[in-house]
Amino acid sequence: MLQELSFGFPILSLILFLPLAGALVLWALEEEDLVKNAALGISVLELILTGVLLTRFVPDSAAMQFSEQVPWIPPLGISYHLAVDGISVLFVPLTAFLTTLVILYSWDTVRYQIKEYFIALLALETATVGIFISIDLIVFFVFWELMLIPSYFLIKLWGGGVERQYAALKYVLYTLLGSVFMLVGIVLLNLNYHDWAVTHHVEPIYSFDFLQLLTTPIPAERQVLIFWLMFMGLAFKAPIFPFHTWLPDALIEGPIGMAVILAGIKLGTYGFMRFSLPLLPEASKSQSVVTVVMGLALAAILYGAIVALIQPDLRRLLAFSSISHLGFVLLGLFALNYQGLQGGLLTMVNLGFTTAGLFFLAGFLYVRRHSTQLSAFGGLARKVPVLATFLLIIGLASIGLPGTNGFVGEFLVLLGAFSAYWVYGVVGVTGVILGAAYFLWYYERAMFGPLAQGLTQTIQDLNAREKLIAVSLSVMIFWIGLYPAPFLRIMNGSVQALVDRLEHGQMATAQVSATTPHE
């Protein structure tokens, strides 16, 4: 059983419900500027709180920290149980960071129903944070589903594409379809626990608590069934090739802010690392599962990269590159060794800065040209040098140039993949090369060469707000790229425990030094 640390103050609940409470406050406000400032204020406050969370987090520990538990529906074994460990803790500040940037970006790019937009965005933040900090599987599922509602409205009401109605509905129905299978998987986990608890006379007889489920042995063939049921939910949400078809639609038709959240926060692959791998180690290790999942990961890497190569639209290119990157994450996770898992986790965090950052830049371009089609650009570097520079920096990070965060993540993933089976590594490297090709080719055509038609009139370079977004993203990119140690230390304990569990089927007891700041 994993050790649990409580903090004495319900900081996770505060982080969880602050944006929702903020959304309710926005409801009461009337004036537009006030709404914007309030939304920004709430998101910054949230960012500060999550920063506090990160600084008080004990690194190199596998313990579940800041634990809070209140019974919710005891007869069904559901409790409101929140906690973070090395796997989840980084995503909480990441979500707050991206939401803050999205609010900054939306400042003057969202022009109608402004109040409703910020309400939906803050509600989305609560649901997303909830997914990362829930340790009870039903509470997790609640937030997992809840996220669909604000996303639906964000895509539908503020999307820029003509097909946004279709995209929003497709997104909701696809992910819902996956989720219902996942719910069956979750209920089967509970039922397995129930059988075990009844035969061993353990109280309570029902439980959805991750930590309690971890202590329950699950027969191997049942693990495989549950694994595939969970896989459906996670694969649709991630999305993993071939369940990805909603993603390009949602990213292109929806607003930039939604695209940043959807592409930057990797919920599906997080679900694998949080629940599937530790709860179902036998299934995750089994030859059939590894072969299928790795096959899908490699297919996603190559498919995404090749389709991205021929896209003339930057947002479409990014959508497919996002599918390719997800393949990388999956490649790392199912290498099932320390480097692979750590690389996969770090890559998930990295994508929150690189892919999300590229979507911001696509948004900057869209604001200037009302298009992200290649035909609208050409020779832009002369006109907007600052924008072009940041596009290059974030783009190079996304293709994994040494010195940027992308390199650290991809390197670890490939290391893990090679030591698992060399073919995985070789195909993965091909994906890296293709990634460099599609980005640089696009960049060259958009930024250099002759000026595109209609570009002769003046075109503004980045304004202060946009610079703030680009600079803060670049700072994170270089920080992780040049000095990843603090981040890796945060992950280390939990990743090591996960590796131990995968190898020995037993979660290593967490060792936490006596000088921990909490308790």
Residues contributing to the site for other proteins (CB under 8 A)? 71-76, 138, 141-143, 145-146, 148-149, 152-153, 156-157, 165, 169, 172-173, 176-177, 180-181, 183-184, 187-188, 190-192, 194-195, 206, 222
Residue 246 C-beta: closest distance to other proteins, Å: 13
Q: Sort residue 68 into left (φ over 0), alpha (ψ -120 to 50) or beta.
A: beta
Q: Which is nearer to other proteins, 154 or 470 (CB)?
A: 154
Q: Which is nearer to other proteins, 54 or 188 (CB)?
A: 188
Residue with tokens 């960049």: 443
Residue 451 C-beta: closest distance to other proteins, Å: 39
Q: Which is nearer to other proteins, 226 or 427 (CB)?
A: 226
Single-letter amino acid code for the residue at 366: Y
- How far apart are the C-alpha atoms of 339 and 364, rounded to whole Å? 36
- How far apart are the C-alpha atoms of 462 and 390, rounded to whole Å? 10
Q: Which is nearer to other proteins, 18 or 365 (CB)?
A: 18
Q: Which residues contact 244 (CB under 8 A, 6 or more apart)?
A: 300, 323
Q: Tell me the C-alpha to C-alpha distance, in Å, between residue 517 and each of 5, 54, 462.
A: 10, 12, 43
Residue 200 C-beta: closest distance to other proteins, Å: 13
Q: Which is nearer to other proteins, 206 or 231 (CB)?
A: 206
**Buried b / exposed e across 435-467, counting CB within 10 Å, b at 16+?**
bbebbeebbebbbeeeebeebeeeeeebeeebe
Q: Which is nearer to other proteins, 73 or 310 (CB)?
A: 73
Single-letter amino acid code for the residue at 257: G
Beta bridge partner(s), residue 68: 82
Residue 188 C-beta: closest distance to other proteins, Å: 7
- How far apart are the C-alpha atoms of 424 and 431, rounded to whole Å? 11
Q: Tell me the C-alpha to C-alpha distance, in Å, between residue 406 and each of 266, 401, 412.
A: 15, 7, 10
Residue 518 C-beta: closest distance to other proteins, Å: 28
Q: Which is nearer to other proteins, 196 or 479 (CB)?
A: 196
Residue 176 C-beta: closest distance to other proteins, Å: 5
CB 246 within 8 A of CB 239: yes
